[in-house]
Amino acid sequence: MEIEDILKEAIRDAASSAIKDGVFPDGELAEVELSVPPKKEFGDYATNFAMQSARTFHMNPRKIAEEISSRITGDWLDHIQIAGPGFLNFYLKTDVLYDSFRKALEKGDAYGNLPHKDTERIMVEYVSANPTGLLHVGHGRGAAAGSALVNLLRAAGYPVYSEYYINDAGSQIDNLAASVNARYLELLGEQAVFPENGYHGKDIIDTAKRIISKDGDKYLHMQESERLKIFKELALKEKLKALREDLEEFNVTFDNWFSERTLHPNMVRDAVEELKANGNIYEEKGALWLRSTKYGDDKDRVVIRDNGVPTYLAADIAYHKNKFDRGFGRLINIWGADHHGYVCRVKAAMKALGYEPDKLEIKLLQMVSLFRGGELVKMSKRTGTSVTLEELIDEVGTDAARYFFLMRSLDSQLDFDLDLAKSHSNDNPVYYIQYAHARIMSVFRQAAEEHILEGDAPKLELLTDESEKKLIKKILSYEQEIEKAAADCAPHHIARFAYDIASDFHSFYSRCRIIGVDEELASARLALLRGTAHVIEHALGILGVSAPDKM
């Protein structure tokens, strides 16, 4: 059992026994929360349990704290201090620290991977950009956030599955075909009218060029409707391939790519029928409307247009129903904040279908603004002048781009400083972390050359410097950090943690030498480095950032 659990149990037991003895009134125990105090003068761990209980027990918190304190003993405990309004500060015997660290080291590469959780299966859907253009930096943030969240949940032991929803069925795909068609004709010197809602990106021209280089003017003289049909499939195939490659380059992969087409017509029809059957659909002006106002939406929404064609919402309802039907009990979607108006109606539809709306969690990602030379870089998908994800990767690299996307909470708008991201300087947090890892690896190389080894049973008790103890505590807090970050769906906590442990390492490194000190101490320090390097690598792995051996 980990020390945190031992502590929590001891506190609960103390409170229960006090209740049993009639010192505390009978009642439900508050949740025991442990924290690492802001200052080391406040001990190794602290709890506000006495203050939390003050309300239910109707007692002075310090009195409660004293009572609990007097009932806790253990060979791991040095002493307990009561401080402030009623904090219980625990001072542990120092060997507890080393024992815990030894256990963490014994886990080896598995440290950081929490035991499998027997919860409902989670589906994380993210990116899901239309296959009609290039990914831009906004998609990049979604891709980084989604993949990091999947990694994080997996590390925390949740059963997770990831999916990309391909909008390959709507009118935008016809538009894609028409745009490619126009470029195709243009390139062959024919007259062409560019469609009004066409896609202007240069990738469309590239697609047309590729068709020509492969098949020449083979499609020129066929009927336009026939040509559009062929181009639709060719363009779609190519766009998907490009999307997949761009995302792989960005360390983003999916368990499944889900085609909207497979929903049509059966699953869409079934979903609408079901809504009709339970009275949540009505007809008006020739269209079928979802009674979403009944479930908190501010207006009802059309699901089947007056021309009989289902709306995007109808497909989306069918899709989310399908996710539940496939056995996922918890759905997490990552959307750009510009889609927030859509949240309410999808949730309303789920409610109307009888699903628990809280089982669909929609995380909204705030917008990204790029800055170069202190100036805002404007982006617009339509004109094709935006900064694409591919360009971003070319400019700053996958590691820096991912880290920058992940260092802020999803809720806050992101100012992405391109100059900072590509600077190879100490201003750049991603290099700071990677440098810590590279430094450790360098020490290992050097140590091996000089035949300095960690050995089988390093004497960890020799690690008594303040910086060493701080680093050990940091390593020991990692799994708790994973647990919490996963519970909050907050990958940015891991980004911050990685930075903090790198900082603790650099601090240690400048105070303590590894090579050239007493043999036993050197072994213990190598063990500390091994633990540190592993945690940094693991944390960066969650973020999808590499941990280089050399820089």
Partner RNA sequence: GCGUCUGUAGCUCAGUUGGAUAGAGCAACGGCCUUCUAAGCCGUGGGUCGAGCGUUCGAGUCGCUCCAGUCGCACCA
DSSP string, 135-195: -BHHHHHHHHHHHHHHHHHHHTT--EEEEEEE--SSHHHHHHHHHHHHHHHHHTT---PPP
Applying the rule CB under 7 A, the residues between 401 and 430 that interact with RNA are 407-409, 411-415, 424-427, 429
Strand partners, 34: 47
Q: Three-state DSSP class for 441?
A: helix
Total of chain residues touching RNA, rule CB under 7 A:
92
Q: Of 27 and 85, which CB lies nearer to RNA in the complex structure?
A: 85
Between 61 and 211, name the residue whose CB sits nearer to RNA.
61
- Considering only 77, 337, 353, 379, the residue that binds RNA (CB under 7 A) is 337
Please tell me the distance from the alpha carbon of residue 363 to that of residue 153, in angstroms, as a whole number.
15
Choosing from 432, 483, 521, 541, the residue that interacts with RNA (CB under 7 A) is 432
Given the complex with RNA, which of 43 and 112 has the nearer CB atom? 43
| From 38, 115, 265, 373, residue interacting with RNA (rule: CB under 7 A) | 38
Q: Residue 219 CB, nearest distance to RNA (Å)? A: 25
Beta bridge partners of 282: 289
Region 77-116 residues binding RNA, contact defined as CB under 7 A: 83-87, 89
Using the rule CB under 7 A, which residue among 27, 286, 327, 354 binds RNA? Answer: 286
**Of 118, 285, 456, 457, which one interacts with RNA (CB under 7 A)?**
285
Measured between alpha carbons, how far is 52 from 150 in angstroms, rounded to an integer?
Answer: 34
Site string for RNA, 453-482 (x = CB under 7 A): ------------------------------
- E strand or H helix that includes residue 62: helix 61-70
- Listed in sequence order, the residues at least 6 apart from 398 whose beta carbon sits closer than 8 Å to its beta carbon are 249, 250, 251, 544, 545, 546
Using CA atoms of 30, 35, 38, 43 in order, give the dihedral in degrees to the nearest 10: 100
Please report the sign of the dihedral spanned by the C-alpha atoms of residue 460, residue 463, residue 467, residue 469: positive
User: Quick count: other Cβ atoms within 10 Å of Cβ 410?
Assistant: 21
- Considering only residues 244 to 283 of the shown chain, the ones binding RNA according to CB under 7 A are none
Residue whose CB is less far from RNA, 336 or 384:
336
Please report how close the Cβ of residue 291 comes to RNA at its closest, in angstroms.
14
Residue 498, token pair as written in the block: 């990685």
Work out whether the CA dihedral 100, 101, 104, 108 comes out positive or negative: negative
| Closest by CA position to 336, among listed 122, 141, 493 | 141
Q: How near is the Cβ of 189 to RNA at its closest, in Å?
A: 32
Find the part of the chain contacting RNA (CB under 7 A) among 71-79, 145-153, 230-238, 309-317.
309-317
Residue 505 token pair = 């390492």
Shortest approach of RNA to residue 301 CB, angstroms? 7
Alpha-carbon radius of gyration of the chain: 29
Q: Does 550 bind RNA (CB under 7 A)?
A: yes
Question: Which residues, 339 to 358, sit near RNA by CB under 7 A?
Answer: 339-342
Looking at residue 549, what DSSP letter applies?
S
Interface pick for RNA out of 253, 383, 442, 464 (rule CB under 7 A): 442
Phi, psi of 384 (to 5 degrees): 75, 10
Compute the least distance from the CB of residue 136 to RNA, in Å: 13
Site string for RNA, 478-517 (x = CB under 7 A): ------x--xx-x-xx--x--x---x--xx-xxxxxxxx-
Which positions from 156 through 215 interact with RNA, judged by CB under 7 A?
167, 170-172
Phi/psi at 35 (5° precision) = -135, 160
Residue number with CB closer to RNA (321 or 408): 408
The residue from 65, 443, 460, 540 that contacts RNA (CB under 7 A) is: 443
Nearer to RNA, 37 or 541 (CB): 37
Q: Closest distance between RNA and the C-beta of residue 110, in Å?
A: 24
What residues numbered 48-77 form the site for RNA, per CB under 7 A? 48, 51-52, 54-55, 61
